[in-house]
Each structure stands twice: as C-alpha cells, then as structure tokens.
A and B are shown apart, each in its own frame.
Chain A
Amino acid sequence: MSNTSPQSDDILNSVTGFQEGMARKQQREETGTDKSEFKGKVANDIAKLHPKRLQLEVSQVIEDTASTKTYRLISTAGPLPPFQAGQYINLFVNIDGVETARPYAISSCPTQRDYYDLTVKLVDGGFVTRYLLDEVLAGQQFTATSPMGTFYHNPIFHGEDLVFLAGGSGGAPARSMIESVLNRGLNINFHLIYGNSYESDVIFKDLFRDLAQKHDNFTLTEVISRPTEGYEGLSGHLNADLITSLIGSAEGKTFYICGPTPFNEFCEAQLKTLGVKNKRIRIECNGPPKKPSCLENWPEVVSEEDEVTVKVQGKGEFKAKVGEPLLNSLERNGYFVENACRSGECSLCRVKVIEGEVFNPPEALLRKSDEQFGWVHSCVAFPTTDIEILY
C-alpha cells in the first residue's frame, strides 16, 4: 500500500474542505522537519535545571565549630544546576554497606555555582552526621539529587520584610538566603534571629556579624539558651515577647523557621500567638518525628520497641522496629526506594501498603486518594502491625 496518496479512495473526499485539507497536509510534508532536531533535546533541557542525580566531589572541608563542618562540593559531571536559596540536596551515602541518604540545605549563595556548600552539624545519635563529620575528607565522591524543596523566598507573596528564626543548623539555609539577598542587591530587609545553645557553637558567627556590619538591610540578633557566666548578650528562647521586642509589629513580615523540630514547633506557636497568619510562616521540614508514639492517634497498644514483619511483595521480608521509619528499615535491609526530603513532603518514597497498618504522622503530606488506596510516604511511615508493601 502506498503512502504517497493516502485515502485517495476515502469517502471523506465528498466532505467540503477535506481534499483541500489533504493537500495542505501534503504541502506541510514538503516543508516540515522530521523532528530529529528534538533528539536528546528534551532530556538536555530538563537536565540543565533538574538533573536526576548530581555527581559530586568534596573539594574542601571547612571546620566551622566543634560540632559543625562545611563540605564544599564540586561537580564531576557538568555544571551544577541553579537553585533557590533555602533549597536542599539529598546526599546519598553508603555507611558500612547500608545505602541511605540525608537532605542538607545548601549553605552557599546561589549567585555562584562553582560549588555547593553543605554545612553539617552533629545530631545526637545521628547515624549519617557522625559518619560525615568523622570520616569524610576532601576527595570523597558522592551522588546526590538536584536541589529541591519549597523553603525559599517567593517574591510573589513573601514581600520585602523578612525575619528568619534559625536554630543551630538552621543557620545553613539562612546564610544562603542572606547572601542571596545581599549579593543580588535586592530591596529586602532581612532580620536573622539566631538561637543557639552555646556561645562557642554558633555556625557562621563571624560571617554573619561581618555582613550585618556592612549592610543596613541585614540585621543580626544572636540569642543563647545556655549562656556561660559573664555572657552579656541576649539569652533564653525565641518566644513571642522576645520576637516582638526585636521586630516590633509582625504585620507585613514573612517569617522563615528552620532548626531542630522542637525549635520549629516552638517558634511557630509563638508566631501564632502574635496573630501571624499561615501564609506568613514558612517552615523547613526536618526529618521524621523522633518520638512518633507521643503523637496524636498513635495506636495505644503498640510501643516503638515492638517488632513487626515487613514483607516486600515479590522481593522478600524482614523484621523492623515499630518506631523506625519504614524507609530506614527498608534501606538497612537492602531495599532501595527513591527519596529526597525524608520528611514526608516530597512523596518520592511513596509505597503502597497492601496488608497491615502504618502510622502516618502529620508530617506526611499525603494526597486525598492516597488514603483510599493505601499509599504512604515511607520516610515518615511507622509500621504498627505486620505489613506487606508494594513499590
């Protein structure tokens, strides 16, 4: 059958305009391209902004404080993609044979992309931070996701009057946001209220002080919760009274909160007492709940130490502690599940629960239909009975 004059016997030839249409189509065949110009183009265009993986190498390790180091990461495969100050990358690591990952906010400024800085503060009992701080040296290579996350200044509705309540490691995204505002010369007032436990353990202390001195639109307030004797600065917690005394009215200001989860929850509650609306409070997510059994709707009969069986359909099964996020136990048992935020937000790690029950904390930003069909975000899902999953 010839293709040069298709449908020459088509009954549609009697339809007004059909033959002219066919002629137009054949005319286009003379002038159009075969679309081979798109070969590779879509993948390349996407990869310029959102490569699936980054190939990174530690070019430098900077000791910030006794508990904190900054890892300067360069790309070994093409330019680093742009990001918005405040975003994170999810760093894949292999520790004693366990493939896992942790998200870290980029602490360097997005106006340069020769490197990303990740600033890592030791977490008590932290499996990955301990490894990074103790073992990682310049030259080590990593794979990571490209920058992600929704914690950044959105000029559409955040305004020009910004207050950042940072606790400890929250100084990392704060630095990126501040430098981004200052380096780009934006007409934004930025007030960093930086809470730390000890005077001796304040990340970027000198840098922030220096910037505050040089720039009228950047204000720094340092607050220490466990001051040493003779300390003369502000001490205590970032409560409503303190915030009001520092910023005056909260009206028209947008607040960013980033620190350990208890810090975030405390600050959010304080802002709510000041009448700050949801839209003016942006909180960076910070991992799974440490004590899920203390949360509302936790099934009373189950303790975090109980053991359950997790069956992965068609692949195998293992024992897991109820109090351990499902994603972590999957990883420890050699199952890889795509993931990024590890805080319930991005949904990359969703799995389907076919049998049994899991506990979903409020961190799990599930879709309405997920509940109906049993899909959960494994990074913040706790198996409270024996379960079977599919992914």
Chain B
Amino acid sequence: MTDYDAIVIGAGNGGLTAATALQRGGARTLLLERHNIPGGCATSFVRGEFEFEVALHQLSGLGTEKKPFIMRKIFADLGVMDKVEFIEEGELYRILVNDGVNPKLDVTLPASWSGIHKVLKEHFPAQSDSIDKFLKLCADISLESFMGVPRARKQKDEALLKSSCPNYIKYGQQDLKSVLDEFFDDEQIKTVLAAYWCYVGLPPSQINFIDLAVMLYCYGAFKPWHIVGGSQALSSALLESFLEAGGEVRFNCSVDKILTSDSLDKPTAVGVRTEFGEEISSEWVISNASSVLTYGELLDTPTMPKEIQQDFKSREIGTSAFCLYIGLDRTPEELGIKNASTFMCNTMDEELMHDKMSTMDAPVATMLTCYNVDDPSFAPPGKSQVSLLCLQYGEVWDSMAPEDYAQAKYKFADVLIDQAEKIFPGLRDSIEEIEVATPLTMMRYLNTPGGAIYGFRQNAQDSILYRKPYRSVDNLQVVGSWNGVGGFQPTYMAGPAIARIVLKTLKAKKEEVAHV
C-alpha cells in the first residue's frame, strides 16, 4: 500500500483546492509546500499596521446570495463558505486615459450590467446602438460558452453547436481587437472596454474576444468581490477544511523529484522525494508547480517526454508584474480615490502598452487598487492600503547584476509613484509602509520561469481547446494556470476538476482490487 493516495505539490489555489477536494472525497492526501504558508499568489504579508493583499484584485464568479454563481457552489463543496466573508465591490473599474493628444478620458464602470450600458452611453452617445449590440453579444456568447459549447462538445454534435451557439460560431475564436473594430469606430470606447486585457496579460490583438466578453459580463452581472482578510484568509480557510477532513500538510518542504516507475509501458508517477531526501509513495502526484518545472526538472525520467516537448514548443512564458504594496496614512477620500480599481493609461495603444512590458522604460499603463474603499477592514482607521502595479515580463530583470537590483527596483518604483502622484496628489507624502515586488520577487515566491503570474502567455492558442491532456506520464497531473487559465477563479476551479478525475480512478482501482 502506498503512503498516500495522492501527494499534492504546492499549496497555491490549484493545489489547495485539489488537495481539499481529494481529501474530502476520501483520498488520503499529503500536501507539500516549500513556503511557510498556504496560498502561493493568494497570500498576504504584514508590515507595521498593514496586512498587504499580494495578488487578488477582484474575485469573479461568486454572484450574489440572491443570484449566486458557480464559485459559491465550488467554495461550498470545498467546505469554506462558513469560514470566509466576501465583500461586494461597487464598481468594475475607473479608467483614466491621458495621451496628451485626445481629450482626457475618465470613465467609471459600475458593477451593474444595466449600469454599464448607461455609463457608456452617457460618455459615448454616438455609439449607443453599438454599445447595446456589443454588450448583448458579450452576454450571449458568455452563456453559450458556459452551457451550449460544453454540451455540444461532449456530444460531439456539430449541428447542435451551430444551432445553439450562433454567436460562438461567429465570434468564439476571433481576437478581441477585430471584434472591437467591427463594432466601434471610436478609439476611446475601445480602450475603455478592453481595459481588462491586463487580467489576461496580452493586448487585444493577441487574446480571444471571448476571454474579455466573459470577464466583462461576469464582473458586470455577478459583481467583483474582495475577501475579508484578503486572499490569504481564503487560502487559510481551504487549508483548514483540508485538515478538518484529515489531510496532512508539510510547510517549508519542497519536492526535489517526482518518482516514476517504468515497469509499465510508460512512466507512472509513484511518489516524490523531498528536499530532505525522504521518499514518499502515492498513487497519484498532482503538481501545482509550473508545468515547466514539473516536467523539465521534477520528473525523474531521463528526458522530458516527447509529447510535452512538442506542446511546450508552441507556448511562451507569460507576463510577470512589478507591484508596489503601499500603506498610506490618509483615507481614500483624502487622496481622491473613489473606487477600488483604477486603470491609468498614457496611451490608447494597447500594443505599445504591451511592448513596454518587455522593457525598463516607464510603463504607459498602470493599475491602482485601493482595498479599503469597499472593505474598511483592509486598513486602520484614517489610513489606506493600495497596490500600484504594472505588468512586466521577467527577462529584463533576469540579466541584472545582483548588486544593482535594489537600486533598480527603487528607481522603477519611483516612476510608478510619480505617475500615480499626478492623478492622486499627496500619494508619496502619505507613504507609511511600502514593499516593492519585481518579477524576481514573483519568481522567488512562485518558483515560475520569468516570475510568470498567469502561466504561459494566454493567447488564443494557449487555450485548452487547442490542446489535449498529456498522456505520456500516468498518474501525474499539473493543476493551475500552467495547465489551464490563469487568475483566481480559473485556478480555484481547476483543483476540484482534477480531483474528480483522480477520485474516479482511485475508486475504480479500489473496486478492481476488491473484485480480485
């Protein structure tokens, strides 16, 4: 008998939800985490009077109590709904564009599907019809992709797909830029509508329209949310649920190797070796480490399986981020911060925004999230917690001499603060605590190539629609953004999905044994 039914490597969102679903489903599960705390991205740290949210800006997929959406069921199934509290945000975002040429743009989209229509029409009355049509398409195609598309694919029924998902047939695999160009002839409204591209990490020309449509519709109809205590509170709640179900966890314990047996016709994962040299056996290994690390370094086979090499060749390492975590000794009102999420752009050219992400030039698009606008518990009375960030690829930091690192990060931080200061005067003078995270910081804590935060580049072809599950190693699964979609909701959903597969095979094996 193996030591465990399943070993989960890494307690990020995917690892935590996989481990919890496995243990609650009856599999004896060991969770190994190289850091001292669960969460991966979904974590926090304390400086002075502030507990800083590291990564979650807006949780999607929750819906309201009256109009619940999928994440309520997922969290309930994971046993955490009574352990966490969610706070509804009032707005999707405010976007400010000042390119020095066109009139300044300042639009705030409320967290209401009808409200979004209204605000857009107020700002862009000439685009009124297009606004209705575009938003209707976003809603319709979202619903098609949740219901009709999976059903038709499951039944392998092309006719059903055509009849039930007409919008998906026409727009499902078009890039965002083409669709925006088709509907609108005003550059400003396109920039306003495309703002969430940063949650995917690639400009409108490189991402699927449907990725943006689903985000816009889901945040609009089902609201964006904060978690009381930050994403760390949810990570800790998941761990608690895992422990309550009898799961075992080890922190400060990284995995050196995934052990395989080659006694069958292909390598089969049979356990892991920890950094301390201990070998632990299991029926299944679920890796929440990047797939690049999992197959390229952890797997003990002499070479990476051909199938995976081939798959990796069509992938590119995704973006990281440069992020300032700032505690301010003034209130949001005093600083002129009216809503949680603000996008600040010096251009309407998303290609340029993306190009700058590969450089140390001043970014032309940044984001400021102020957590205590909607949830006062995020900062002491009279103070504020913000994160100020831009997306950035890791390579520009990789090549830096270690001794130059600290100065470089402060210099780049100054640029972001100077930019934000123009919109929120007094920001710098209010700093009480600040911590600077670069792509190298992301790399240190996430152990991902390039410090990538969303896995591989999430272009259209990165989608699972273009890929098949790996078959060259049995009883090994990668869970998380590197084997699916990045971001919070997708990675929370990935764990239970993987767990279902694993539990099914474990059950089948037990029945087989019982039969013999």
Known: A42-B448, A278-B48. A25 touches B329 (CB 8 A): no
Known: A154-B434, A347-B37. A375 touches B410 (CB 8 A): no
Asked if B236 and A369 make an inter-chain contact with CB atoms under 8 angstroms apart, the answer reads yes
- A303 in the interface (beta carbon within 8 A): no
- A213 in the interface (beta carbon within 8 A): no
- A127 in the interface (beta carbon within 8 A): no
Which single member of A35, A39, A349 contacts B315 (CB below 8 Å)? A35
Q: Which residues in window 421-442 of B have CB below 8 A to A?
A: 428, 431-436, 440
Which single member of A18, A28, A42 contacts B313 (CB below 8 Å)? A28
- B454 in the interface (beta carbon within 8 A): no
Asked if B233 and A156 make an inter-chain contact with CB atoms under 8 angstroms apart, the answer reads no
Task: Give min CB distance, A86 to chain B, whole Å.
Answer: 12
Cβ–Cβ < 8 Å partners of B36 in chain A? 338, 347-350
- How far, in whole Å, are A154 and B413 apart by their CA atoms in the complex? 11
Cβ–Cβ < 8 Å partners of B172 in chain A? 12, 15-18
Query: Binary interface profile of B, 220-238, with partner A (CB < 8 Å = 1, else 0)?
Result: 0000000011101100110
Which single member of B251, B414, B444 contacts A391 (CB below 8 Å)? B251
- A290 in the interface (beta carbon within 8 A): no
Cβ–Cβ < 8 Å partners of B51 in chain A? 367-368
Asked if A369 and B402 make an inter-chain contact with CB atoms under 8 angstroms apart, the answer reads no
Task: Give min CB distance, B424 to chain A, whole Å.
Answer: 15
- A229 in the interface (beta carbon within 8 A): no
Query: Binary interface profile of B, 393-404, with partner A (CB < 8 Å = 1, else 0)?
Result: 000001000110
Cβ–Cβ < 8 Å partners of B162 in chain A? 14
Cβ–Cβ < 8 Å partners of A9 in chain B? 156
- How far, in whole Å, are A31 and B313 apart by their CA atoms in the complex? 7
Q: Which residues in window 295-327 of B have CB below 8 A to A?
A: 296-297, 304, 307-310, 312-317
Known: A6-B468, A82-B406. A34 touches B304 (CB 8 A): yes
- B168 in the interface (beta carbon within 8 A): yes
Cβ–Cβ < 8 Å partners of A226 in chain B? none
- B271 in the interface (beta carbon within 8 A): no
Asked if A373 and B237 make an inter-chain contact with CB atoms under 8 angstroms apart, the answer reads yes
- How far, in whole Å, are A31 and B316 apart by their CA atoms in the complex? 11
Asked if B466 and A25 make an inter-chain contact with CB atoms under 8 angstroms apart, the answer reads yes
Task: Give min CB distance, B129 to chain A, whole Å.
Answer: 23
Residue in A closest to B234 when the chains form the complex, CB atoms: A369
Known: A28-B461, A49-B444, A373-B240. A81 touches B296 (CB 8 A): no
- B153 in the interface (beta carbon within 8 A): yes
- B385 in the interface (beta carbon within 8 A): no
15 further A-B contacts with Cβ under 8 Å, apart from A49-B402, A113-B403, A390-B243, are: A22-B461, A24-B461, A28-B313, A32-B312, A32-B316, A34-B313, A35-B312, A46-B443, A49-B405, A156-B410, A277-B329, A347-B46, A368-B232, A369-B232, A372-B236
Cβ–Cβ < 8 Å partners of B169 in chain A? 14-16
- How far, in whole Å, are A191 and B464 apart by their CA atoms in the complex? 60
Known: A3-B468, A15-B173, A45-B440. A157 touches B296 (CB 8 A): no
Task: Give min CB distance, A151 to chain B, whole Å.
Answer: 12
- B133 in the interface (beta carbon within 8 A): no
Query: Binary interface profile of A, 333-357, with partner B (CB < 8 Å = 1, else 0)?
Result: 0000010000001011110100000
- A50 in the interface (beta carbon within 8 A): yes
- How far, in whole Å, are A157 and B48 apart by their CA atoms in the complex? 15
Which single member of A17, A36, A373 contacts B173 (CB below 8 Å)? A17
- How far, in whole Å, are A197 and B199 apart by their CA atoms in the complex? 57
Asked if A156 and B413 make an inter-chain contact with CB atoms under 8 angstroms apart, the answer reads yes
Residue in B closest to A152 when the chains form the complex, CB atoms: B406
Asked if B168 and A26 make an inter-chain contact with CB atoms under 8 angstroms apart, the answer reads no
Q: Which residues of B contact A (CB under 8 A)?
A: 36-37, 44-49, 51, 83, 152-153, 156-158, 161-162, 168-175, 228-230, 232-233, 236-237, 239-240, 243, 251-252, 292-293, 296-297, 304, 307-310, 312-317, 329, 377, 398, 402-403, 405-406, 410, 413-414, 417, 428, 431-436, 440, 443-444, 447-449, 460-461, 465-468, 471
Known: A11-B153, A42-B447, A369-B229. A36 touches B432 (CB 8 A): no
Asked if B173 and A16 make an inter-chain contact with CB atoms under 8 angstroms apart, the answer reads yes
- How far, in whole Å, are A21 and B171 apart by their CA atoms in the complex? 13
- How far, in whole Å, are A224 and B468 apart by their CA atoms in the complex? 74
Asked if B158 and A14 make an inter-chain contact with CB atoms under 8 angstroms apart, the answer reads yes
List, sorted by A's number, 23 A–B pairs whose CB atoms are closer than 8 Å.
Answer: A3-B310, A3-B468, A7-B466, A7-B468, A12-B161, A17-B460, A25-B314, A25-B466, A32-B315, A34-B308, A35-B292, A40-B297, A45-B440, A49-B444, A82-B403, A82-B405, A150-B435, A156-B410, A156-B428, A372-B83, A372-B233, A372-B236, A373-B236
Asked if B173 and A18 make an inter-chain contact with CB atoms under 8 angstroms apart, the answer reads yes
- How far, in whole Å, are A29 and B311 apart by their CA atoms in the complex? 7
Task: Give min CB distance, B388 to chain A, whole Å.
Answer: 11
- How far, in whole Å, are A49 and B243 apart by their CA atoms in the complex? 34
Asked if A29 and B37 make an inter-chain contact with CB atoms under 8 angstroms apart, the answer reads no
- A365 in the interface (beta carbon within 8 A): yes
Known: A155-B410, A157-B428. A28 touches B314 (CB 8 A): yes
Instruction: Identify which of A45, A350, A370 gathers the most chain B CB atoms within 10 Å of its CB.
Output: A45
Residue in B closest to A280 when the chains form the complex, CB atoms: B432
Task: Give min CB distance, B87 to chain A, whole Å.
Answer: 13
- How far, in whole Å, are A341 and B432 apart by their CA atoms in the complex? 22
Cβ–Cβ < 8 Å partners of B432 in chain A? 277-279
Asked if A34 and B309 make an inter-chain contact with CB atoms under 8 angstroms apart, the answer reads yes
Task: Give min CB distance, B351 to chain A, whole Å.
Answer: 18
Q: Which residues in window 262-318 of A have CB below 8 A to B?
A: 277-279
- A38 in the interface (beta carbon within 8 A): yes
Cβ–Cβ < 8 Å partners of A132 in chain B? none
Known: A14-B161, A278-B329. A25 touches B312 (CB 8 A): no
Asked if B173 and A50 make an inter-chain contact with CB atoms under 8 angstroms apart, the answer reads no
Asked if B329 and A279 make an inter-chain contact with CB atoms under 8 angstroms apart, the answer reads yes
Residue in A closest to B459 when the chains form the complex, CB atoms: A24
Which single member of A16, A32, A35, A338 contacts B296 (CB below 8 Å)? A35
Task: Give min CB distance, A141 to chain B, whole Å.
Answer: 20
Asked if B402 and A48 make an inter-chain contact with CB atoms under 8 angstroms apart, the answer reads yes
- A33 in the interface (beta carbon within 8 A): yes
Cβ–Cβ < 8 Å partners of A29 in chain B? 310, 313-314
- How far, in whole Å, are A150 and B47 apart by their CA atoms in the complex? 9
Asked if A38 and B292 make an inter-chain contact with CB atoms under 8 angstroms apart, the answer reads yes
Residue in B closest to A11 when the chains form the complex, CB atoms: B158
Asked if B237 and A369 make an inter-chain contact with CB atoms under 8 angstroms apart, the answer reads yes
Known: A14-B158, A34-B309. A375 touches B402 (CB 8 A): no
Cβ–Cβ < 8 Å partners of A41 in chain B? 449
Cβ–Cβ < 8 Å partners of A6 in chain B? 466-468
Cβ–Cβ < 8 Å partners of B403 in chain A? 82, 113
- How far, in whole Å, are A49 and B443 apart by their CA atoms in the complex? 11
Cβ–Cβ < 8 Å partners of A155 in chain B? 410
- How far, in whole Å, are A155 and B411 apart by their CA atoms in the complex? 9
- How far, in whole Å, are A32 and B310 apart by their CA atoms in the complex? 9
Cβ–Cβ < 8 Å partners of B168 in chain A? 15
Residue in A closest to B444 when the chains form the complex, CB atoms: A46
Cβ–Cβ < 8 Å partners of A372 in chain B? 83, 229, 233, 236
Cβ–Cβ < 8 Å partners of A279 in chain B? 329, 431-433
- How far, in whole Å, are A42 and B34 apart by their CA atoms in the complex? 14
Asked if A39 and B296 make an inter-chain contact with CB atoms under 8 angstroms apart, the answer reads yes
Residue in B closest to A337 when the chains form the complex, CB atoms: B252
Asked if B461 and A338 make an inter-chain contact with CB atoms under 8 angstroms apart, the answer reads no
Known: A34-B313, A278-B329, A279-B432. A154 touches B158 (CB 8 A): no
- A84 in the interface (beta carbon within 8 A): yes
Nearest 8 pairs of A and B residues by beta carbon: A17-B173, A32-B313, A279-B432, A369-B233, A28-B314, A25-B461, A34-B309, A157-B431
Cβ–Cβ < 8 Å partners of B447 in chain A? 42, 46
Known: A29-B314, A157-B431, A278-B432. A370 touches B236 (CB 8 A): yes
Asked if A81 and B314 make an inter-chain contact with CB atoms under 8 angstroms apart, the answer reads no
Which single member of B158, B309, B317, B398 contacts A45 (CB below 8 Å)? B398
Task: Give min CB distance, A97 to chain B, whole Å.
Answer: 20
Known: A348-B36, A367-B232. A82 touches B402 (CB 8 A): yes
- How far, in whole Å, are A38 and B431 apart by their CA atoms in the complex? 38
